[in-house]
């Protein structure tokens, strides 16, 4: 029995050590990718947020900007991403942070540490104590979660064609299907309601929004809240409580906002859900945005038809 | 609790430690530990159905003591009552809705209107396995192979021993009960072999079967839009998925049993290297086919009487075996296909040609004749698997029609859009490894060099961890 237990323990130790080694290697590779990305960053303005900013702003058309937004990115991940990127990076002077009203809706609060697969992509850039918290949070699916971390960490470190998932990038979606009343209604229902009940305000999203504001203040970086264009029909359906809360946040921190949610009215420039722009819409909007931040446009919105 | 879950890998070492280090001094307490662990294992899935398992155990334990009566007439009456009670439980939970539906359907055809009550409940996991354990006990007592046990805990362990509880192998009372009743000692070689079997079983389940599953699901869900080659590959892949899944489970069960000092029956002996259907059934789900042979085929007269009776008995056990898998006509057809494939062997007295040795026993490679025999057996088995997988007679026939029609309707598209070729990444290594191991399913051959051997184990563990996830259940849990 003793020999059996000894050998079994040794075997398990070998497996665990190998896993830890592999994990450390992946972690190191991800940090190297981040380090090289930071070295190559030559913009002074960051565009951060989720899929709204990702699909609406093509940073190749906007001078001095780097789009670091990623689909499905909650503020918790934006915060840790900015924490890493702004560390020893003095070139960045402004951040446009995407804000869509549903960002503070609790509809995704069932997993306040991010959806399973998305959170795994950010795992390597998290501080140690956060890593432990994330692992503890996913303990019921521990093995699949660790597997997902290793898999996504490996993809982040080895995919040479595009930036790693945790850094984000602008994304053009060539979609010709335009929004309809039903598709917009479905979208609004999924983002602001659970069943027929209105969602509450997400405390975790607010907490990390607070942290982003504090981070920018501590680094003397100008934080501007950005509302990307949304379909008029979608906008009319946003519950008032979320609009009011947004104003409260702005007032609380005296934040500047650029509300371009009314800018685009043409159905052909939207994706079917009504709250994302398609590739054509992104080109129109990015050109406008470039001119706007370059001071070429006078105040007021450009009507795009 | 699934064998491929994290819970099981916490549960197993804990029970192992309690069994060998805390309760090792008393056989009774060791058995009680196993029984409680087995009930916990089952209750983890559904504590409600745990009651059914306990009721079944008490019932068969009581019947067993009466069947052991020296008065043969009385014993026979109790045997019949015991078997009927088990069949009643099985029938109620597994087959009632099927018969109610067929009754309703038949009544409609005859012009009557009926409104039978349908049961709205899940099938208790492993019910087909543990009721067969119970029946084996009363049969073995009746045939004088086993004496009634006086200790309910010993009997409870025989019925509910957790490695075998939900998907077999289906044990016999006269084989497992004496092991439960005797003190067990830890054997290093047996424990190491057990760990190897667990590792190989997990590998087959997680790396091979679960990796094949998405392609197979895709083929079977969208078969009407696929070409013939894709459908054939889908059916072949399913043959290996179900083999990897079920034999993987059986290996884990065998390995776990070895860790606790038990030797349980083998369930799989490299079935796809069978040279005819008779050999296939001596190698596939052996514990079930031999159960039916011992407790149904032989009592019905077996092959000792006329040819007609032998054929009748053969058809009965194949059809019952199909029906055992599930309350559906497609399982009955699956069993019937095997019966028809068996028929020529029976008629020409060739059904016992390959009883002892494995194919190419003394050679590295099979002869051309053996290759043809193995391929033709595999072809029949794979056609039958389509009925098994579809679980619907009409859909199964449509699937086969789609294969045939694509050969003459659109022969130019036969090889276009075949995305299922990736199945060969899993199937070919699986066949090669099985071929290497084919002489003994219980003693896995491993490299003699310890560094090479450990590297192989570690690689397997890493591959299992890489493929783990999604909590894929075992296919045979549904039976």
Give how far B447 is from chain A: nearest CA, Å.
Answer: 16
Q: Is the pLDDT of residue B131 over 80?
A: yes
Q: Chain B within 8 Å of A116 (Cβ-Cβ)?
A: no
Q: Using the CB atoms, write b or e for B214-235: b if 16+ within 10 Å.
A: ebbeebbeebeebbbbbbbbbb
Give how far A21 is from chain B: nearest CA, Å.
Answer: 13
Q: What is the pLDDT of residue A111?
A: 59
Distance CA B203, CA B211 (A): 11
A143–B468: do the CB atoms touch at under 8 Å?
A: yes
Burial class (CB in 10 A: 0-12, 13-18, 19+), B335: buried
Q: Chain B within 8 Å of A3 (Cβ-Cβ)?
A: yes
Q: What is the ipTM of this complex?
A: 0.72
B458–A1: do the CB atoms touch at under 8 Å?
A: no
Contacts of B468 in chain A (CB under 8 A): 143-144, 147
Two tokens, residue B2: 């699934």
The residue of chain A with its CA nearest to that of B451 is A11
Residue range B373-410, pLDDT digits in tens: 999 999 999 999 999 998 788 889 999 998 888 877 77
Q: What is the pLDDT of residue B421?
A: 66
Beta bridge partners of A264: A304
Other CB atoms closer than 10 Å to residue B304's CB: what's the count? Answer: 9
Q: What is the pLDDT of residue A300?
A: 41
Annotation marks residue B325 as catalytic? yes
Q: Chain B within 8 Å of A152 (Cβ-Cβ)?
A: no
Q: What is the pLDDT of residue A303?
A: 36
Q: Is the pLDDT of residue A112 over 60?
A: no
Residue range B296-338, pLDDT digits in tens: 999 998 888 888 899 999 999 999 999 888 888 888 999 999 9
Neighbouring C-alpha atoms within 13 Å toward the C-beta of A304: 26
Q: What is the pLDDT of residue A114?
A: 59
Percent of chain A with pLDDT over 90: 17
Q: Chain A within 8 Å of B6 (Cβ-Cβ)?
A: yes
Given A4, A11, A147, which is nearest B466 (Cβ)? A147
Two tokens, residue A8: 């079994």
Q: Chain A within 8 Å of B188 (Cβ-Cβ)?
A: yes
Distances (CA, A) of A39 to A32, A36, A47, A82, A86: 11, 5, 18, 15, 12
Q: What is the pLDDT of residue A301?
A: 41
- Number of CB pairs, chain A paired with chain B, less than 8 A apart: 39
Q: Is the pLDDT of residue A102 over 90?
A: no
Q: Using the CB atoms, write b or e for A199-230: b if 16+ within 10 Å.
A: beebebbbebbebbbebbeebebebbbbbbbb
Distance CA B302, CA B292 (A): 11
Q: What angle do CA B86, B87, B92 make, to 5 degrees?
A: 105
Distance CA B335, CA B351 (A): 17
Contacts of B186 in chain A (CB under 8 A): 1, 4
Q: Chain B within 8 Å of A1 (Cβ-Cβ)?
A: yes
Average pLDDT over residues B115-126: 81
Q: Is the pLDDT of residue A64 over 90?
A: no
Residue range B17-60, pLDDT digits in tens: 999 999 888 999 999 999 999 999 999 888 888 999 999 999 99
Average pLDDT over residues B2-17: 86
Q: Is the pLDDT of residue B473 over 80?
A: no
Which is catalytic among the residues B285, B325, B338, B467? B325
The conformation of residue B208, written as its DSSP 8-state character, comes to I
Distance CA B447, CA B196 (A): 12
Q: How confident is the model at residue B190 (pLDDT cuts 50, 70, 90)?
A: very high
Q: How confident is the model at residue B293 (pLDDT cuts 50, 70, 90)?
A: very high
Q: Which helix (H) or strand (E) holds B158?
A: helix B152-160
Cis check: omega of the bond before B169, within 30 degrees of 0: yes
Contacts of B195 in chain A (CB under 8 A): 8
Q: Is B346 helix (H, G, I), strand (E, B) or coil?
A: helix
Other CB atoms closer than 10 Å to residue A38's CB: what's the count? Answer: 16
Q: How confident is the model at residue B240 (pLDDT cuts 50, 70, 90)?
A: very high
Residue range B73-82, pLDDT digits in tens: 889 999 999 9
pTM: 0.77
Residue range A134-177, pLDDT digits in tens: 888 887 777 778 888 888 888 888 877 677 888 888 888 887 78
Average pLDDT over residues B210-235: 86
Q: What is the pLDDT of residue A249?
A: 86
Average pLDDT over residues A77-94: 85
Interface-testing mutation among A4, A14, A145, A155, with chain B (most B C-beta atoms within 10 A)? A4
Other CB atoms closer than 10 Å to residue B329's CB: what's the count? Answer: 19
Contacts of B469 in chain A (CB under 8 A): 141, 143-144, 147-148
Residue range A200-236, pLDDT digits in tens: 888 888 889 999 999 999 988 999 999 999 998 888 8
Mean pLDDT of all residues in chain A?
Answer: 84
Q: Chain A within 8 Å of B13 (Cβ-Cβ)?
A: no
């Amino acid at each position: 029995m003793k020999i059996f237990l000894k050998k079994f323990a040794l075997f398990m130790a070998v497996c665990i050590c190998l896993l830890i080694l592999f994990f450390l290697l992946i972690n190191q590779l991800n940090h190297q990718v981040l380090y090289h990305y930071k070295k190559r960053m030559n913009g002074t303005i960051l565009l951060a947020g989720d899929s709204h900013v990702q699909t609406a702003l093509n940073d190749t058309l906007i001078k001095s900007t780097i789009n670091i937004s990623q689909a499905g990115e909650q503020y918790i991940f934006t915060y840790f991403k900015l924490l890493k990127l702004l560390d020893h990076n003095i070139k960045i002077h402004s951040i446009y942070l995407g804000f869509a009203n549903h960002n503070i809706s609790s509809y995704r609060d069932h997993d306040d540490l991010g959806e399973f697969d998305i959170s795994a992509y950010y795992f390597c850039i998290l501080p140690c104590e956060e890593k432990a918290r994330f692992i503890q949070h996913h303990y019921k699916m521990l093995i699949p979660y660790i597997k997902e971390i290793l898999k996504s960490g490996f993809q982040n470190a080895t995919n040479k064609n595009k930036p790693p998932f945790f850094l984000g990038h602008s994304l053009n979606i060539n979609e010709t299907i335009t929004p309809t009343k039903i598709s917009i209604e479905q979208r609004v229902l999924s983002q602001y309601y659970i069943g027929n009940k209105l969602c509450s305000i997400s405390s975790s999203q607010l907490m990390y929004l607070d942290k982003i504001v504090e981070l920018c203040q501590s680094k003397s970086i100008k934080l501007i809240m950005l509302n990307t264009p949304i379909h008029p029909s979608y906008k009319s359906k946003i519950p008032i409580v979320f609009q009011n809360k947004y104003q409260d946040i702005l007032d609380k921190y005296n934040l500047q906002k650029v509300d371009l949610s009314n800018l685009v009215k043409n159905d052909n420039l939207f994706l079917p859900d009504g709250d994302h722009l398609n590739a054509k819409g992104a080109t129109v909007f990015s050109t406008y945005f470039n001119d706007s931040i370059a001071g070429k446009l006078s105040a007021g919105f450009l009507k795009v038809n | 609790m699934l064998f491929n879950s994290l819970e099981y890998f916490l549960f197993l070492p804990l029970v192992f430690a309690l069994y060998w280090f805390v309760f090792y001094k008393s056989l009774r307490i060791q058995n009680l530990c196993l029984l409680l662990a087995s009930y916990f294992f089952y209750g983890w899935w559904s504590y409600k159905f745990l009651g059914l398992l306990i009721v079944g155990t008490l019932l068969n334990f009581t019947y067993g003591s009466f069947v052991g009566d020296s008065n043969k007439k009385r014993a026979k009456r109790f045997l019949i009552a015991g078997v009927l009670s088990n069949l009643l439980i099985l029938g109620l939970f597994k087959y009632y809705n099927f018969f109610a539906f067929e009754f309703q359907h038949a009544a409609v055809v005859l012009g009557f209107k009926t409104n039978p009550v349908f049961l709205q409940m899940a099938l208790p996991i492993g019910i087909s396995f543990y009721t067969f354990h119970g029946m084996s006990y009363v049969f073995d007592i009746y045939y004088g192979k086993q004496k009634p046990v006086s200790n309910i805990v010993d009997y409870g362990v025989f019925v509910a021993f957790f490695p075998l509880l939900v998907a077999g192998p289906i044990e016999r009372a006269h084989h497992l009960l004496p092991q439960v009743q005797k003190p067990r000692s830890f054997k290093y070689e047996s424990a190491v072999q057990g760990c190897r079997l667990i590792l190989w079983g997990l590998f087959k389940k997680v790396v091979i079967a679960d990796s094949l599953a998405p392609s197979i699901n895709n083929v079977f869900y969208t078969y009407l839009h696929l070409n013939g080659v894709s459908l054939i590959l889908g059916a072949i892949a399913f043959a290996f998925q179900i083999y990897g899944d079920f034999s993987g489970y059986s290996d884990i069960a065998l390995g776990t049993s070895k860790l606790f000092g038990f030797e349980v029956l083998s369930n799989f002996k490299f079935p796809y290297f069978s040279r005819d259907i008779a050999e296939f059934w001596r190698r596939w789900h052996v514990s079930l086919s031999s159960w039916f042979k011992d407790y149904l085929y032989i009592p019905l007269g077996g092959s000792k009487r006329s040819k007609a009776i032998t054929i009748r008995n053969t058809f009965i056990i194949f059809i019952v075996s199909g029906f055992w898998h599930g309350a559906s006509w497609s399982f009955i057809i699956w069993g019937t296909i095997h019966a028809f494939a068996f028929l020529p062997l029976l008629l020409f007295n060739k059904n016992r040609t390959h009883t002892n040795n494995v194919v190419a026993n003394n050679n590295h490679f099979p002869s051309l004749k053996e290759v043809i025999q193995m391929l033709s057996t595999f072809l029949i088995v794979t056609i039958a698997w389509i009925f098994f997988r579809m679980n619907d007679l009409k859909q199964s026939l449509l699937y086969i029609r789609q294969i045939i029609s694509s050969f003459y309707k659109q022969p130019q598209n036969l090889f276009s859009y075949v995305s299922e070729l990736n199945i060969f990444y899993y199937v070919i290594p699986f066949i090669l490894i099985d071929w290497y191991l084919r002489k003994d399913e219980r003693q896995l051959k491993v490299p003699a060099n310890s560094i090479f051997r450990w590297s192989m184990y570690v690689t397997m563990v890493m591959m299992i961890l890489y493929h783990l996830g999604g909590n894929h259940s075992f296919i045979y849990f549904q039976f």
